[in-house]
Amino acid sequence: MSSSIISTTQTIKPARNILGSLQLPGDKSISHRYAMLAGLAEGTTRLTNFSTGADCASSLGCVAALGAKVERKEDGSIEVTGTAGQFQAPAGPLDCGNSGSTMRMMAGLLAPHPHTFVLLGDESLSRRPMERIRKPLSAMGARIELTDGHAPVTVYGGPLTGIDYATPIPSAQVKTALLFAGFQASGTTIVHEAVRTRDHGELALRAFGVELSRSQDKIEVRGGQKLRAIQAAVPGDMSSAAFFLCAAVLFPDSNLVLDGLGMNPTRAALLDVLTTFGAKFKVLNLEEKNGELIGTVQVNAPAGGLAGAELSGALSAQLIDELPVLAAIAPYSRNGIRIRDAKELRVKESDRIALVAQNLRAMGAEVTEHEDGLDVPGKQQLRGAEIHSGGDHRIAMAFSVAALRAQGESQIHGAEAAGISFPEFYALLDRISER
Ligand code: S3P
C-alpha cells in the first residue's frame, strides 16, 4: 500500500450463516486491459462495471498521463478517448501504485513509442521482480533499465521487432506485455506458454480489433495493427467472488447467488476445486460479451462439510490469486489442503506463503510452510486473532473469511488493503453474513 494511506483495523465477528445475492464490481484483470487498450485506441471507449479497485485506477492514471482523456460519468461508467495509436511523452514518471499488472503490461504497451517512460511503484511493487518483462522486451529491441531487477523501470521506447518467446514461468502479465508490444511491432510475435494462464489479454486485443491466433500453447500476433474503441460491460471479478464463495461453503445452510460474474474458463478453476470440496454450484444465464463468458452462479455448501484438496502443477498457476483464501479456510475441512508449485506466491503483493502461515498460526492452526506451498491439516478449530494483512489485499480478505467460523472475533490490521482490488468488500461481507 502507498505510505500515504492510513492503516485501519476491521473487526470481523463470527457468523452463523451466509445468505444473499450480489453483483460484484468488474474484474480487475479485464479492467486493466480495457483501460490500457482504450488509452491507445482510436475513438472513445465506454466501460461499465469497471473495477472499483485502486489498482485499475492506476492504469487509468497512466493512460491519462500518456494523453488519453479519461472521464468518470455520473452513472458510474468510464469513458476513455484514446490517443489513436500515439502515446505522448508523459510530463513525469508513471505511477503504478501497488499494481504489478499496470507496471508489467504498460511496459509492453509503451515500449514501441519513441519516448522515455519511467514506471514507479509503491514499496511493495518496488520489491517485485521485473526482469521477467525486461528480458523479452529487450529481445524485441526496447532498451529497459531496472533498479536491481526492480522498479523504477525506465523504458527507452522505439521501433520493435517481433520475437518467438517461451515464458519461463506461467504469467499472464508477461504474456500480455509481449502481445501488447507485438501488435505494434514489425513482423510477428509468438508467445508459448507451458501452462495456459488467463487469456483476457488475447480476448481484449480481439475486442479492440486486433487479429491474433492461438493453437495449443502458442499465441501469434502480427505487428502493425491498430486498435479501435469498444463499448463493454466488465464482468464481475471471479477472484473477488472467491472470498464470498469460500465463505459460503463454510456454512451448511448457506445460499449465495452472484450475478453477472466473469466465467472465463481460464479463471474458473476455483469452481472445480470447490466442487471437489463438495460444494454444489448452479450456473445460469451464461452469455458471451467481447469474448468473455458471464453468468449467474449459485453456491450451496456441502451437506457433509468440506472435503479438502491437493493443489499442484498447472492448477496452482491457474488458482494463484485464490490460494490464500483456500488455505485460510482449509483448517475447517476434513482433509486439509496441500499446496505445491506455487512459489510465485512469494513474489506477489506480499510473500503470501509466509503471511498465510503466520496468520493461520495466530488463529491457533497448525501449518507447515514449504518453499513452494503450504500444508494445512483439516479438522482444526480456529480462534479469533490479531491478523496482519502486510498491506496485501488478498491476505486481508482471506482472513476476514477465515474469521467468520473462528471462536471469538478477529481484528484485521491493515484492512484498508482490500481497496486495492475490492473497496466494497467489508460492506458486502457484512451484508451476506447472518449473525
Ligand atoms: C494477473 C496475472 C497474475 C495474477 C494477477 C493478475 C493478470 O499475475 O496473480 O493478480 O491480470 O494478468 P502473474 O502474471 O504474475 O502470474
What pLDDT, in 10s, does the model give residues 53-98? Answer: 999 999 999 999 999 999 999 999 999 999 999 999 999 999 999 9
Can you name the CATH fold of 28-232? UDP-n-acetylglucosamine1-carboxyvinyl-transferase; Chain (3.65.10)
Res. 217 pLDDT band, cuts 50 70 90 = very high
In this structure, of 5-14, 115-124, 395-404, the range with the lowest mean pLDDT score is: 5-14
The arithmetic mean of pLDDT across residues 396-408, rounded, is 98
If you take atom 10 of ligand 1, which residue's CA is the nearest one?
321
pLDDT reported for residue 376 = 98
What pLDDT, in 10s, does the model give residues 328-355? Answer: 999 999 999 999 999 999 999 999 999 9
What share of the chain has pLDDT > 70, as a percent? 99
Q: Is the pLDDT of residue 179 over 90?
A: yes
Q: Is the pLDDT of residue 395 over 70?
A: yes
Res. 3 pLDDT band, cuts 50 70 90 = very low
Q: Which atom of ligand 1 is nearest to the CA of 198?
A: 12
Place of cell 507496471: 103
Would you state the cell numbers that stand for residue 310, as one nine-digit string? 491437493
If you take atom 16 of ligand 1, which residue's CA is the nearest one?
171
- In the 8-state DSSP scheme, what is residue 378? S
pLDDT reported for residue 172 = 98
- Ligand 1 surroundings by CB, under 6 angstroms: 29, 101, 171-173, 176, 198, 320-321, 344
Q: Is the pLDDT of residue 405 over 90?
A: yes
Q: Which atom of ligand 1 is nearest to the CA of 105?
A: 12
Q: How far is the CA of 435 from the centre of ligand 1 (A)?
A: 35
Report H helices in 111-167: 131-139
Q: Is the pLDDT of residue 315 over 90?
A: yes
Q: Is the pLDDT of residue 19 over 80?
A: yes
Q: Is the pLDDT of residue 294 over 80?
A: yes
pLDDT reported for residue 4 = 58
The verdict on domain 2-26+235-434 having CATH code 3.65.10.10 is yes
Q: How far is the CA of 198 from the centre of ligand 1 (A)?
A: 8
Catalytic residues: 321
pLDDT reported for residue 273 = 97
Would you state the cell numbers that stand for residue 6, as one nine-digit string? 492510513
What pLDDT, in 10s, does the model give residues 24-57? Answer: 999 999 999 999 999 999 999 999 999 999 999 9
Q: Which atom of ligand 1 is nearest to the CA of 169?
A: 16
The per-residue pLDDT of the chain, averaged, comes to 97
If you take atom 11 of ligand 1, which residue's CA is the nearest one?
29
- In the 8-state DSSP scheme, what is residue 140? T
Q: How far is the CA of 172 from the centre of ligand 1 (A)?
A: 6
Question: Residues spanned by CATH 3.65.10.10 within the chain?
Answer: 2-26+235-434, 28-232
Whether residue 59 contacts residue 101, with contact meaning beta carbons closer than 8 Å, is answered with yes
Distance CA 50, CA 80 (A): 12
- In the 8-state DSSP scheme, what is residue 127? G
Q: How far is the CA of 171 from the centre of ligand 1 (A)?
A: 6
Residue 373: phi, psi to the nearest 5?
A: 170, -160
pLDDT reported for residue 6 = 86
Residue 394: phi, psi to the nearest 5?
A: -75, -25
Per-residue burial over 81-108, b if 16 or more Cβ lie within 10 Å, else e, is: bbbeeebeebeebbbbbbbbbbbbbbbb
Q: How far is the CA of 342 from the centre of ligand 1 (A)?
A: 13
The arithmetic mean of pLDDT across residues 360-367, rounded, is 98
Distance CA 333, CA 380 (A): 8
The arithmetic mean of pLDDT across residues 313-327, rounded, is 97
Q: Which of 130, 171, 191, 202 to mutate to test the pocket of ligand 1 (most atoms within 8 A of CB)?
A: 171
Res. 303 pLDDT band, cuts 50 70 90 = confident
Q: How far is the CA of 434 from the centre of ligand 1 (A)?
A: 33
Q: Which of 101, 191, 196, 203 to mutate to test the pocket of ligand 1 (most atoms within 8 A of CB)?
A: 101
If you take atom 15 of ligand 1, which residue's CA is the nearest one?
171
The amino acid sitting at 12 is I
pLDDT reported for residue 2 = 45
Q: Which of 320, 323, 344, 346 to mutate to test the pocket of ligand 1 (most atoms within 8 A of CB)?
A: 320
